[in-house]
Amino acid sequence: MIVRLVRLLILLAVWPVAALAGDVPGRFDFYLLSLTWSPSYCAAEGGVRDDAQCQSGRRYGFLVHGLWPQYDRGYPEDCPTRVSPAEADIRGLSDLMPADGLVRHEWRKHGACAGLAPADYLKTIRAARETVRIPAAFQRIDSYKTVSPAEVEAAFVAANPGLKPEGVAVTCDGRRLREVRICLTRDLGFRACDEVDRRACRADRVVLPPVR
């Protein structure tokens, strides 16, 4: 009994290290590009935080939330790194990610797991965003719009040849559309991602607040 207890304690002590050891920079299956509808974020919490993208005169629609390395099941995060993006590189991404703090956070939590230098990871974010065409119906919305998540998904599929319904997921907070998440191969081609697709919004209708 004592021997078994000692073995159990050893396993419990080692397990967290072993679990973290699985998140190795550069070891992942695909990317998930997350595009946030900025007016929804600002209506929900960004305005209270006075985030850069929510300040007066910032007429943003879809912005990049992040580009996240993924496993086919689960995802790596917080991979060890001793480097950070240069300020000039962060500012160079401001048209896609206006909040400098978000860029730094995304690098620490997700980007370091890509196995790229910070500058190359930020370039990959831009390349991934340029891979995706925003449907015309969602490029500028001047009044509140109610749609179904399925309509949003279908519009993205129609606007992006090669993108399939099983490779895109629309998320919501119960009332507002929050994000469109698109799965990309490591060389930024479209691909299916069943686990991501299963987490899509289940609401019948969602609201898109207008760009202001």
d(CA 91, CA 153): 31
Strand order in the sheet with 62-70: 62-70, 30-37, 177-184, 168-172
Q: Which of the residues 110, 130, 151, 166 is marked catalytic? A: 110
d(CA 173, CA 8): 41
One-letter amino acid at 150 equals: A
Are 13 and 164 contacting, i.e. CB atoms less than 8 angstroms apart? no
Q: Which of the residues 77, 105, 106, 151 is marked catalytic? A: 106
65 is annotated as an active-site residue: yes
106 is annotated as an active-site residue: yes
Q: In degrees to the nearest 10, what's the CA dihedral of 136, 62, 41, 207?
A: 20
Q: Which of the residues 65, 105, 166, 195 is marked catalytic? A: 65
105 is annotated as an active-site residue: no
d(CA 121, CA 51): 23
| Active-site residue list | 65, 106, 110
